[in-house]
Amino acid sequence: MIENNKETRNQVIDMLKAITNYFSNMRDILCAPYGLSSIQAIIVLDIYHNPNETKITDICKRLNKSTNTISPLVNRLISKGFLAKFQSKDDARVFNVLLTDKSKKILSNIVTDICDFTWPIFDSFTDEEFNNIYNALLLMNGAIESK
């Protein structure tokens, strides 16, 4: 059994950083041919997965980012033709962001590319190993969400 102490906690943090960097770099590589940065792809995918909550504030909450961070990225995506902005019918001060046909066409390719790249990693684990990883991530996610 691994002891829960300062040294092993730092090792876990280092491993999480390495995993995060790996997936971030992979996203950059897979999204570059479509003219999207990693964070831009995350925004487009977020809207794709949450089509009924498309206000900038909704996106910011889900991505845990400020409007000062997300708004310029959304504006760049609009100028590149990946998103369109529409004024809310309920509140003229509010704008909704929607996917364009251009982004809809490439989204399935991006999702497929990401799956093709990442699934072999999961295939390398036994069912028991995968189960351990899954349960550990559930625990960590639960601890984060309770904060």
Read off the pLDDT band of 95 (50, 70, 90): confident
Please name which of 143, 138, 137 lies closest in space to residue 20, comparing C-alpha atoms: 137
Answer yes or no: is 36 within a domain. Answer: yes
pLDDT(147) > 80? no
Answer yes or no: is 42 within a domain. Answer: yes
State the chain's maximal CA–CA distance in angstroms.
58
- Residue 41: phi and psi, rounded to 5, are -65, -40
The residue whose two tokens read 């969400």 is 145
Please tell me the distance from the alpha carbon of residue 92 to that of residue 138, in angstroms, as a whole number: 40
pLDDT at res. 66: 94
Please tell me the distance from the alpha carbon of residue 84 to that of residue 66, in angstroms, as a whole number: 20
Residues 6+ apart with CB under 8 A from 107: 44, 45, 48, 99
Q: What pLDDT, in 10s, does the model give residues 102-134?
A: 999 898 888 888 889 889 999 999 999 999 999
What is the domain count for the chain?
A: 1
Answer yes or no: is 118 within a domain. Answer: no
| pTM of structure | 0.77
Half-sphere exposure of 108 toward its Cβ, with a 13 Å CA cutoff?
A: 4
Answer yes or no: is 123 within a domain. Answer: no
Please name which of 119, 138, 103 lies closest in space to residue 23, comparing C-alpha atoms: 119
Please name which of 125, 130, 55, 141 lies closest in space to residue 90, comparing C-alpha atoms: 55
pLDDT at res. 14: 96
Q: What pLDDT, in 10s, does the model give residues 5-64?
A: 999 999 999 999 999 999 888 888 988 999 998 899 999 999 999 988 889 999 999 999
Burial (Cβ within 10 Å: 0-12, 13-18, ≥19) of residue 43: buried
pLDDT at res. 58: 93
pLDDT at res. 36: 92
Look up the domain containing 92 and give its range: 6-109
Answer yes or no: is 98 within a domain. Answer: yes
| Domain of residue 104, CATH code | 1.10.10.10
Answer yes or no: is 128 within a domain. Answer: no
Answer yes or no: is 104 within a domain. Answer: yes
pLDDT at res. 144: 86
Answer yes or no: is 37 within a domain. Answer: yes
